[in-house]
Amino acid sequence: MLKRLYIDNFRCFVNFEYKPERKQLLLGANGSGKSSLLDAIRLLKEFLKGTENPFLAATKTRWLDLSKQVFEIEAVVDGDNYSYRVENQYESDSPNSRVKLESLKASGETVFEQLGGEIHFFSGSPNAPSILPWKTTNSSLYLARLGNQHVDKFLGWLEHVHCLYVDAYPDAMDDTAEGEDAFPADELENLADWYRHLAQADLEAVLAVTNSLRGVLDGFVSLQLEQAGITGRVLRATFDQPAKRPYLLSELSDGQRQLIALYLILHVLIARGETVLLDEVTNHLALREIQPWLLAAEEAVQQSKGQLILISHHPEILNQWAREYGLRFFREENGQVRTERFKPDPDGFLQPSELIARGWENE
Amino acid sequence: MNRPSWVYVLAEDKRQQQLIYRFLVAAGVNPRQVQFELSPAGQGSAEQWVRENFARQAGKCRARNARAATGMFVITDADTRTVQERLNILDEALSAAGQTPIDASRDPIARLIPKRNVETWILVLGSKDTAVEEVTDYKSTKTSEEWSALISSAAETLVAWTRPSATLPASLIDSLRRGVGEIPRALPQGN
């Protein structure tokens, strides 16, 4: 479970600390930093793969001229507390950053450190690391993955942190699965590949998704992967209309595609207890579909001990979650992002969505 | 009286909602047949919000019943009042809105009034602890996660106890016995 994120000198985040809960609704005005928080996590995930460094000078806070950018991640994974820190250094004449410091601690003990171009591996004795000179352009944590179980556990956990924006436009969500993907892409554009993997690896989840979709899509029977070429498959949805050929994913409505994506997220990621951050995922949904999904997701988080963090402006979600789980993002006068717990109407009269629509939520 | 095909639930807070939601799902009701509305208020004024909205929502459900069987659950803690006092308050709210009091033989509206509060019911239903009584406030005896963990078994027990053939324990607390009796008439048909 993600316990803490610290960001300094990244976009609108300056000395910013975020402590997520198991269930949380991030709310606030446009431009208050909610989606940028998810972007920071996405970029950190990309960075920690070690193949490229996505932290460019353009990601620094505009109104500061600081050369150091810092990220910290704290997580509890199967009872172990992990604390990761990276410091990126920017030179004035380069758009790229280099990694000045990178470290991972497990329950307070350093298990990996890269400092000034030297990697300290702690796989043997914690007091006598083996040292390797290394380049500082990218993250080097992955180098210790094979030799250190804590590094492996932390990076493995991070793969199961999902920052998703479900873009339901047909061009974004591809019908064709050329292979299998174990994880959904950030915008679920690989939904067909992910489903192809699940159809092999997690039939129970696929069955649960099918059952849920039968309840919400009129006449829905199942999702099918149909052979396309030698190795490819296309994802189709079959309906209880014998005369009609199954619909390609791209032939469904935006809302239907979004429902398929949401119930996959629910029965696969949330049900497995993973950390899921969802940005505005209800844009195309009929109003009637939002509450049943939200209640089922809330139950699944509770059962699986996972973590579900939503960004939403939707009244239905605000009214269901803001009072208990709401965290308001706002900008201070100098531009930096701060948060506070959502304060419900003190008179107990206005629903959170009404309060927010009037702009009274910070009074 | 036809079994409702759709039900509206008016609740004070998330814990009440969780109990009703898990009960309805365990009873086989499609979540799309249910709409919850939660009080926006914190502790203390949530009861007032439920009371003030009850008559309006009951009126809508009654009016819709003429064309489609529509059920309603209202759940509000008795706290330090008696269950009868809370029932009277709800009836007065109906009367003030120009409506008749709830008629158990005609209205698919279940008034659930846990005493002392919903945590009392969750303890009785979830743990079957016969020492639980209606005066003590058990809310602070467990964490939020512990309450949540207990709600699943509480909901299963509630399903079992609302079956027509069910025999309720002789020692069952009064507010829950009364609530169990109200539920079937507002319960939508399962799938």
- Examine the domain organization and report whether A16 and A156 are in the same domain: yes
Q: Is residue A321 part of a domain?
A: no
3-class DSSP assignment, residue B174? helix
- Examine the domain organization and report whether A136 and A173 are in the same domain: no
Last residue of a domain, one of A131, A160, A189: A160
Helices B144-161 and B14-26: crossing angle in degrees, nearest 10, is: 40
**How confident is the model at residue A93, as a pLDDT?**
83
User: Would you kindly state where each structural domain of chain B is located, as residue ranges?
Assistant: 6-184
Task: Please give the model's pTM, rounded to 2 decimal places.
Answer: 0.93
Maximum Cα interatomic distance, chain A, rounded to a whole number of Å: 72
Last residue of a domain, one of A160, A184, A218: A160
CB pairs < 8 Å spanning A and B: 57
Sheet strand arrangement including B34-38: B34-38, B6-11, B70-75, B109-112
Q: Are strands A97-106 and A80-90 parallel, antiparallel or unpaired?
A: antiparallel
Residue B168: count other Cβ atoms within 10 Å of its Cβ. Answer: 13
The answer to ipTM > 0.95 is no
- Examine the domain organization and report whether A187 and A199 are in the same domain: yes
For residue A336, count CB atoms less than 10 angstroms from its CB and return exposed for 0-12, middle for 13-18, buried for 19 or more: middle
> pLDDT tens digits, chain A, 363 residues: what are they?
999 999 999 999 999 999 999 999 999 999 999 999 999 999 999 999 999 999 999 999 999 989 999 999 999 999 999 999 999 999 988 899 999 999 999 999 999 999 988 998 886 566 667 777 778 889 999 999 998 999 999 999 999 999 999 876 767 888 999 999 999 999 999 999 999 999 999 999 999 999 999 999 999 999 999 999 989 999 999 999 766 789 999 999 989 999 999 999 999 999 999 999 999 888 888 899 999 999 999 999 999 999 999 999 999 999 999 999 999 999 999 899 999 999 999 888 899 999 999 999 878
Radius of gyration for chain B, computed over Cα atoms and rounded to the nearest angstrom = 16
How far is the C-alpha of A267 from the C-alpha of A271, rounded, in Å? 5
Q: Give the residue from B21, B24, B43, B122 with the most A CB atoms within 10 Å of its CB, the best one to mutate.
A: B21
Residues of B in contact with A288 (CB under 8 A): 32
Q: DSSP letters along A66-120, please?
A: -SEEEEEEEEEETTEEEEEEEEEEE-TT-SBEEEEEEEEEETTEEEEEEETTEEE
**How confident is the model at residue A127, as a pLDDT?**
64
- Examine the domain organization and report whether A181 and A106 are in the same domain: no
Q: Are strands A23-28 and A326-331 parallel, antiparallel or unpaired?
A: parallel
Q: Give the residue from A25, A295, A361 with the most B CB atoms within 10 Å of its CB, the best one to mutate.
A: A295
**How confident is the model at residue A241, as a pLDDT?**
79
Residue corresponding to tokens 């210790």: A144
* CATH number, domain containing residue A50: 3.40.50
**How confident is the model at residue A111, as a pLDDT?**
93
| Token pair for B94 | 């109906």
- Examine the domain organization and report whether A168 and A129 are in the same domain: no
**How confident is the model at residue B191, as a pLDDT?**
44
Domain that holds residue A201: 161-255
Maximum Cα interatomic distance, chain B, rounded to a whole number of Å: 46
- The amino acid that residue B55 corresponds to is A
Run means of pLDDT, 10 residues per run, chain B, 191 residues:
86 96 94 93 82 94 89 96 96 95 92 97 92 95 93 96 94 96 87 44
How far is the C-alpha of B40 from the C-alpha of B13, rounded, in Å? 8
**How confident is the model at residue A361, as a pLDDT?**
87
**How confident is the model at residue B8, as a pLDDT?**
96
For residue A176, count CB atoms less than 10 angstroms from its CB and return exposed for 0-12, middle for 13-18, buried for 19 or more: middle
Residues of A in contact with B146 (CB under 8 A): none
**How confident is the model at residue A142, as a pLDDT?**
94
Radius of gyration for chain A, computed over Cα atoms and rounded to the nearest angstrom = 22
- Examine the domain organization and report whether A136 and A171 are in the same domain: no
- Examine the domain organization and report whether A251 and A201 are in the same domain: yes
Pair A37, A27: CB distance under 8 Å:
no
Last residue of a domain, one of A160, A190, A222: A160
Residues of A in contact with B44 (CB under 8 A): 348
Nearest-neighbour CA in chain A from B170: distance (Å): 32
- Examine the domain organization and report whether A139 and A67 are in the same domain: yes
Nearest-neighbour CA in chain B from A181: distance (Å): 31
Candidates B22, B40, B152; nearest CB to A345: B40
- Examine the domain organization and report whether A151 and A165 are in the same domain: no
- Examine the domain organization and report whether A196 and A120 are in the same domain: no
Number of folded domains in chain A? 2
